[in-house]
Structure 1
Amino acid sequence: MHHQSMKSTKHILQKFIAKTGQIAVLIDPEVTNSKLKLQPIVEKAEFAQVDYFFIGGSTVTRADFEKTTAILKSLTKIPLVIFPGDHQQLSNDAEALLYLSLISGRNPEYLIGQHVKSAQEVLKLDLEILPTAYVLISGGTQSTVAYVSQTTPIPRDNFSIALNTAVAGVLQGNEIVYFDAGSGARQPVDAELIKKVNQQLKTVVIVGGGVRSIEEIEVLKTAGTNVIVIGNKIEEDIDFLLDIQNYKSKVTS
Structure 2
Amino acid sequence: MPGRVKSLKSSIQNPSFAVLIDPEKETDLSKLGKKIDLINQSLCALVLVGASSNLCNNFEEVTKFIQQRCDKPIIGFPGKWNQVNKYLDGLLFISLISSDRYKYLFQEQSKAIETIDKIESIDIYPTGYMVLDGGIETSVEKVSGSKGMRYDDISAILTRIKTGRFLGMDHIYLEAGSGAKSTVPCSLVSEVAQQVDSFLIVGGGVKSAEKVSEFWNAGAHLVVIGNAIEQDPNIINEISIKCQLHNEVELK
C-alpha deviation, 1:250, in angstroms:
2.6
Q: Which amino acid aligns with 1:43?
A: D
Pairing of 1:42-191 with structure 2 (within 5 A) = 42-61=36-55, 63-125=57-119, 126-191=121-186
C-alpha deviation, 1:33, in angstroms:
4.8
Matches of 2:160 and 2:247, distance apart in 1: 34
Q: C-alpha deviations, 1:20-39, integer Å up to 9, x for none?
A: 2x110000000115431211
CA contact under 8 A between 2:17 and 2:44: conserved in structure 1? yes
State the match for 1:214 in structure 2.
209
Aligned CA distance change for structure 1 residues 68 and 7 (closer, same or farther; 3 Å):
farther
- Give the 3-state SS of the residue equivalent to 1:210 in structure 2: coil
CA contact under 8 A between 1:26 and 1:230: conserved in structure 2? yes
What percent of counterpart residues are identical? 30
State the match for 1:10 in structure 2.
6
Q: Does 1:239 align with 2:203?
A: no
- Give the 3-state SS of the residue equivalent to 1:218 in structure 2: helix
Length-normalised TM-score, structure 2: 0.92
State the match for 1:194 in structure 2.
189
C-alpha deviation, 1:113, in angstroms:
1.4
C-alpha deviation, 1:252, in angstroms:
4.8
Q: Does 1:36 align with 2:30?
A: yes
Aligned CA distance change for structure 1 residues 194 and 229 (closer, same or farther; 3 Å):
same
Matches of 2:33 and 2:238, distance apart in 1: 19
Q: Which amino acid aligns with 2:152?
A: D
Aligned CA distance change for structure 1 residues 11 and 106 (closer, same or farther; 3 Å):
closer
- Give the 3-state SS of the residue equivalent to 2:23 in structure 1: coil
Say which is worse superposed, 192-201 or 136-145, in terms of deviation. 192-201
- Give the 3-state SS of the residue equivalent to 2:43 in structure 1: coil
Matches of 1:116 and 1:128, distance apart in 2: 16
C-alpha deviation, 1:241, in angstroms:
1.7
Structure 2: gaps (5+ residues):
none
CA contact under 8 A between 2:24 and 2:56: conserved in structure 1? no
Say which is worse superposed, 235-244 or 102-111, in terms of deviation. 235-244
Structure 1: gaps (5+ residues):
none
C-alpha deviation, 1:12, in angstroms:
4.0
Q: Does 1:228 align with 2:219?
A: no
Aligned residues: 247
Aligned CA distance change for structure 1 residues 181 and 72 (closer, same or farther; 3 Å):
same
C-alpha deviation, 1:248, in angstroms:
2.9
Q: Which amino acid aligns with 1:166?
A: I
Alpha-carbon RMSD across the aligned residues, in angstroms, is: 1.8
Matches of 1:9 and 1:101, distance apart in 2: 15
Length-normalised TM-score, structure 1: 0.91
Say which is worse superposed, 54-63 or 223-232, in terms of deviation. 54-63
C-alpha deviation, 1:155, in angstroms:
0.4
Say which is worse superposed, 59-68 or 183-192, in terms of deviation. 59-68
Matches of 1:82 and 1:206, distance apart in 2: 14
